[in-house]
A and B are shown apart, each in its own frame.
Chain A
């Protein structure tokens, strides 16, 4: 009796699994995104180009090579800008970006305190009709982690080692100080502010 009851349950579970599995076959991918062409035209016009998100190493190389037409804009409040900014950047706080505007000549690289502030700046510039807009995805924190404090964690992967070597080469130009053999637990959860404070404590004036 117990045996047949268990068999009955097994049959029901197998049927449910097979039904859900067959449904998955029809449903396709669980990762499907909304295609960009389905966005309302106004929203689609504000979206940055796929290659507009750049890393700090690219920006650093552009600065070092004096890339013609490069304009670097810091979207943070003036006091934060005075405290620390990326070399050659000018300060246009996010609140003033709309009224200040920006020349559509050359190329503009935006960065803010974090990704949210940076992206808001990107949308404002796109709405103003700026053409060539790039941005540091994670804001100023990305510059700190990639250029000022390139970090190689303990037991690095092959990709991490390669990335570190690339960062090291450009970081030397900006006075960055590499950290190696850092426990992974130390790097996780550190905000841009904490990273900046740690950097300032060591006396780096950029």
Chain B
């Protein structure tokens, strides 16, 4: 096994954080070049006129998923050393709704708001300030939500384990779903622009 570098001790925590910073900057650069620092482009997602976000995200998911699957299968990555965030169903569903509401209202998500702010867009900067303010408020009122925050815990689960599916079947299904989504996105964009 050669990876993950942090889990196997190839990299120290400091080196890992430095590398994460560089990868983050690279990620932001590519998002910006792809036009995802523009709230109008992101809002097009909800009007079905510009589905770039869907295409970018599905491309990233499929690339990372196939990369991890095959690198693990070939013995280069130890998947058991990769951190899996635990699932808390109800609070994460509510969190997702709040996130979606903010996304529609602001036209940017947390990552793209950083990209927009870094490229000088005022809406991005405002969203960034709002996001930090939201984090501050949440921390202040967190004691009121402690019970709900830790409710409906499922542990560190994957879709394959939860639904007792083969990992390979799930990978294939997500690839097929992604490619289907690309075709559908192209069709909708062409229809709604004309």
Q: Which of B155, B160, B168, B182 contacts A26 (CB 8 A)?
A: B168
Complex Cα–Cα for A75 and B92 (A): 45
Q: Is the interface of A mostly helix, strand, loop or mixed?
A: helix
Query: How extensive is the interface on chain B, given as a class?
Result: 20 to 34
Closest to B142 in A: A155
Interface residues of B in 137-155 (CB under 8 A from A): 142, 149-151, 153, 155
Indicate whether A204 reaches chain B with its CB closer than 8 angstroms. Answer: no
Complex Cα–Cα for A146 and B69 (A): 36
Q: Mark A161-174, 1 if CB is under 8 A from B, else 0.
A: 10000000000000
With a CB–CB cut-off of 8 A, which chain B residues contact A35? none
Indicate whether A159 reaches chain B with its CB closer than 8 angstroms. Answer: yes
Complex contact A159–B72 (CB within 8 A): no
The verdict on A22 contacting B172 (CB below 8 Å), with A14-B179, A30-B73 known, is yes
Complex contact B79–A31 (CB within 8 A): yes
The verdict on A24 contacting B151 (CB below 8 Å), with A14-B179, A29-B166, A30-B79 known, is no
Complex contact A189–B13 (CB within 8 A): yes
Complex contact B66–A157 (CB within 8 A): no
Closest to A29 in B: B167
Complex contact B79–A25 (CB within 8 A): no
Interface centre among A14, A30, A155, A157, by most B CB within 10 Å? A30
With a CB–CB cut-off of 8 A, which chain B residues contact A28? 166-168
Complex Cα–Cα for A26 and B69 (A): 12
Complex Cα–Cα for A167 and B192 (A): 61
Q: Is the interface of B mostly helix, strand, loop or mixed?
A: helix
Complex Cα–Cα for A159 and B88 (A): 11
With a CB–CB cut-off of 8 A, which chain A residues contact B176? 18, 21
Complex Cα–Cα for A27 and B70 (A): 9
Complex Cα–Cα for A17 and B60 (A): 12
Complex Cα–Cα for A104 and B160 (A): 43
Q: Mark B150-173, 1 if CB is under 8 A from A, else 0.
A: 110101000010000011110110
Closest to A24 in B: B171
Indicate whether B110 reaches chain A with its CB closer than 8 angstroms. Answer: no
Indicate whether B106 reaches chain A with its CB closer than 8 angstroms. Answer: no
Indicate whether A183 reaches chain B with its CB closer than 8 angstroms. Answer: no
A41, chain B: closest CB distance, angstroms: 25
Closest to B167 in A: A29
Interface residues of A in 156-198 (CB under 8 A from B): 156-159, 161, 189
B135, chain A: closest CB distance, angstroms: 13
Complex Cα–Cα for A155 and B174 (A): 34
Which positions in B face A, CB cutoff 8 Å? Answer: 13, 62, 66, 68-70, 72-73, 79-80, 86, 88, 142, 149-151, 153, 155, 160, 166-169, 171-172, 174-176, 178-179, 182
- 15 A-B contact pairs sorted by A residue (CB < 8 Å): A17-B66, A18-B175, A18-B176, A18-B179, A21-B172, A22-B172, A24-B69, A24-B167, A26-B168, A28-B167, A29-B166, A31-B72, A157-B88, A157-B150, A159-B155
Which positions in A face B, CB cutoff 8 Å? Answer: 10, 14, 17-18, 20-31, 155-159, 161, 189
